[in-house]
Amino acid sequence: EYENVRQQHEDVKQSRDQAKEELKNLKELQSPMTKKIQETEEHFMSLDMKIRDMATELKDTSQKFKQRQDALERKDKQIEEIHQALRMKKDEEMDRQRKIHDIEKMIEDWKNELNTMAKAENLQPQTDAINNELKKLQEERANIDGDVSDIKAEKINQEREKKRVIDRLGQLNDIMNMKEENLKGRFRDTHSALMWLRRNKDKFKKKVCEPIMLELNMKDNRHAKYVENHISANDMRAFVFESQEDMEMFLMRDHQKLKVNAVCAPAESQAESLPSRPIEELHRYGFFSYLRELFDAPCPVMSYLCSQYRVHDVPVGTEKTRNMIDRVIKETKLRHIYTAEERYLVKVSAYTNLVFSINASLRAAQFLSSSVDTDERRQLENQQQDINNTLKSLDMRLTTLFERQKYLEHRDNELRQQKKELVERGNRRRQLESKIGVKYDSLKQLEQDAINLEEESQQANIKIKEINTQKAILVSELVRLIKNCVSLNILKANLSLQSATVLAEKNRLESEYNAASIQLRAAEQRFCELDEKKRVLTENCKELMKKAQQVCKLSPDQHLPKEFQTAFQALPNTLEDIDAVLNEEKNRASCFTDLNASVVEEYNKQTQEIQQLTVFLEEKQNELDNYKQNISQVKERWLNPLKMLIEQINEKFSNFFSSMQCAGEVDLHVENEEEYDKYGIRIRVKFHSSTELRELTPYHQSGGEKSVS
């Protein structure tokens, strides 16, 4: 134990001496760096002051240049205004000359027309002829108007008769009206529910059929008694639903408490179910049809009747069937049979298996027996066709009269135009003489308003010459100011380059100084820790030495015997290792009985492999530690200057946006510090006071905002 502590003391002492030497070297390196940073700072401040003075002078020069440039533009505008005024006067003179030429040409044409015009032209015979023809046209138009009125009246009468015929046909065709009246008279609650259903069909998810008695349409009214005797009265007035949910909602019906019946059609349609045998096989017994073929009905209704009443498998017979009913029951094995006037229900006794039948006379039809007078219907259809033909003939006559009316109106307009031209020809000479006099007055006024273009051009040239002299003076001043601006910009650029170089050097020195300061503080702390650890270990060594001498019964100045030294040198250096060796020897001794050579060999082999793997693991661990240390040093040398550079960019970027009454910042965006290839610059901007800083992306900002950023 003493040896361990002594060895630790030696290691700590050596580390402390190294830390002391390193601390001394760092202090010696930091002193000249501080002086160099101060000199660089002073140089940078001097250059910055010069750049500001240069910028002020450059701003004044630019302002003077802008003033001279504005004055030069005003002179150019004055010259353009003079040219524009001269052009307007030239255009005005050209317009005056054109008007004079047009008026002279107009006067000449009118004079030629006066010379060719007859002195006294007799137009009265032509006027009288036109008046006579106009009178005849008016009489014919009046006759046509009368014919049109008569035809329109006849057409109205025919339309009225056609409506009456259509209404009557509608009454004959609409059997549903009679059925509804029958339903209303017999089952008022069912009729009320029907009216409610028609108003609220949009509330149901699937199709809802009205009461069966309204949905059934007999192909022959004589067969209605078979259907009505087969279907119960309750089902005849029942509503048929495709959905159980719709049926339950209908039965609630806003809590109207009406007594109505409702049934639900099978989920899988049975409307097309086949009978047990074709009807042709039953013709010999007098059967002519199954119940299903005697009427039409919607698919849900037919599906329900096939499922509930098997209408697809119940045959309908004649008097022949009645006469041979015993044979029919015995041979066909049918359970439900209709003859001409009776209904047979065949059953088999559950106890004796004997077949017996129950028959009953058919009740007269009450709901499905409505019929139409076919003769009246045919007569009305023929009458409707005749009315349509008459209306077509009247329309053709009207078309002919309208075309004649249009022609007469066109001819009337032509004659009135000819009459107007004849009247105008009589007044034309007086009009021409009056117009010629007016145009002579206009011509005289235009000749008095002549413009001297030569004199106007000379005055404009004099004004332009004076302005050009002033422009020459301004241009010479502009050239001088431009040269001054160029020289100032060159000087400012040189100073800016020097300033940037000095600033970069200053930042580099500060970065190195900060890194050295961090290393110095770390070295001081490490030295203090090692010195304190050395002191503690020295005290421990003294205590352990004193304790060992007491155990070995040695005086402070007496040394350990030679045989003890030899034995101790063969043992491990720590108590834990000595205990481990002792336990290992005990275990080895206990295993000597029944010792197996192969087990020993395997043990030695595994021990050797463990030692090799331990050495390999230590080497790889050392390589990993060295690699991590190198990465940390490289990262520190690279990342700290990068952060300082981005901070400077962010400061300038924020200042620029603040000057535009906006906000912006630039920072280093890092999701995972170990993924260096994913480091990036993040730009966040805010152009409106009502929004927050938002990252600059191709989607959030407008094109102008992205360009400014």
Mean pLDDT of the chain: 81
Instruction: Find the mean pLDDT for residues 43-62.
Output: 84
The position carrying tokens 């400061």 is 651
Per-residue confidence (pLDDT) for residue 227, from 0 to 100: 92
Q: Confidence class of residue 118 from pLDDT cuts 50, 70 and 90?
A: low
Per-residue confidence (pLDDT) for residue 344, from 0 to 100: 92
Please measure the distance between the N-terminal and C-terminal CA atoms of the chain and give it in whole angstroms: 70
Quick: pLDDT tens for 478-490: 788 788 877 777 8
Instruction: Find the mean pLDDT for residues 556-569.
Output: 63
Q: Confidence class of residue 590 from pLDDT cuts 50, 70 and 90?
A: low
Whole-angstrom distance, CA of residue 173 vs CA of residue 373: 10
Residue 554 scores a pLDDT above 90: no
Residue 569 scores a pLDDT above 60: yes
443 or 145: which leads in pLDDT? 145
Instruction: Find the mean pLDDT for residues 109-119.
Output: 72
Instruction: Find the mean pLDDT for residues 231-258.
Output: 85
Q: Are 262 and 239 in contact (CB under 8 A)?
A: yes
Highest-confidence segment of 198-212, 433-447, 563-577? 198-212
Residue 23 scores a pLDDT above 70: no
Q: Are 196 and 222 in contact (CB under 8 A)?
A: no
Residue 561 scores a pLDDT above 80: no
Q: Confidence class of residue 589 from pLDDT cuts 50, 70 and 90?
A: low
At CA 63, angle to CA 58 and CA 67, rounded to 5? 145
Whole-angstrom distance, CA of residue 173 vs CA of residue 166: 10
Share of the chain above pLDDT 70, in %: 84
Instruction: Find the mean pLDDT for residues 437-460.
Output: 81
Q: Confidence class of residue 120 from pLDDT cuts 50, 70 and 90?
A: very low
Residue 9 scores a pLDDT above 80: no
589 or 604: which leads in pLDDT? 604
- Between 45-54, 87-96, 363-372, 409-418, the lowest mean confidence (pLDDT) is in 363-372
Q: Are 650 and 681 in contact (CB under 8 A)?
A: no
Highest-confidence segment of 30-44, 65-79, 200-214, 672-686? 200-214
224 or 687: which leads in pLDDT? 224
Query: Which pair of tokens denotes residue 349?
Result: 């006794």
Residue 302 scores a pLDDT above 90: yes
- Between 117-121, 188-192, 636-640, the lowest mean confidence (pLDDT) is in 117-121
- What angle in degrees, to the nearest 10, is found between the helix axes of 124-173 and 374-448? 150
Residue 528 scores a pLDDT above 60: yes
Per-residue confidence (pLDDT) for residue 312, from 0 to 100: 93
Q: Are 228 and 236 in contact (CB under 8 A)?
A: yes
The position carrying tokens 């339309």 is 159
Query: Which pair of tokens denotes residue 498?
Result: 């020097």
Quick: pLDDT tens for 655-694: 888 888 888 898 888 877 777 777 888 898 888 877 788 8
Per-residue confidence (pLDDT) for residue 661, from 0 to 100: 80
Q: What is the DSSP string of 91-159?
A: HHHHHHHHHHHHHHHHHHHHHHHHHHS-SS---HHHHHHHHHHHHHHHHHHHHHHHHHHHHHHHHHHHH
Quick: pLDDT tens for 684-695: 888 887 778 888
Instruction: Find the mean pLDDT for residues 167-182.
Output: 75
259 or 377: which leads in pLDDT? 259
Which residue(s) pair with 240 in the sheet?
A: 209, 263
Per-residue confidence (pLDDT) for residue 286, from 0 to 100: 92
Q: With respect to CATH, is domain 2-114+453-550 assigned 1.20.5?
A: no
Instruction: Find the mean pLDDT for residues 202-210.
Output: 91
Domain boundaries, the chain: 2-114+453-550, 217-367, 568-595, 630-709
Q: Are 315 and 333 in contact (CB under 8 A)?
A: no
166 or 568: which leads in pLDDT? 166
- Helix, strand, coil: what percent of the chain each, to 5? 75, 5, 20
Per-residue confidence (pLDDT) for residue 531, from 0 to 100: 72
At CA 323, angle to CA 317 and CA 326, rounded to 5? 90
The position carrying tokens 């050579």 is 597
User: The whole model's pTM is what?
Assistant: 0.35
Quick: pLDDT tens for 367-384: 887 654 445 667 888 988
Q: Confidence class of residue 107 from pLDDT cuts 50, 70 and 90?
A: confident
Instruction: Find the mean pLDDT for residues 333-352.
Output: 88
Can you tell me whether residue 355 is helix, strand or coil? strand
The runs of H, that is alpha helices, within 174-187 are 175-186
Per-residue confidence (pLDDT) for residue 78, from 0 to 100: 87
Per-residue confidence (pLDDT) for residue 374, from 0 to 100: 45
Quick: pLDDT tens for 626-645: 877 887 787 788 888 888 88
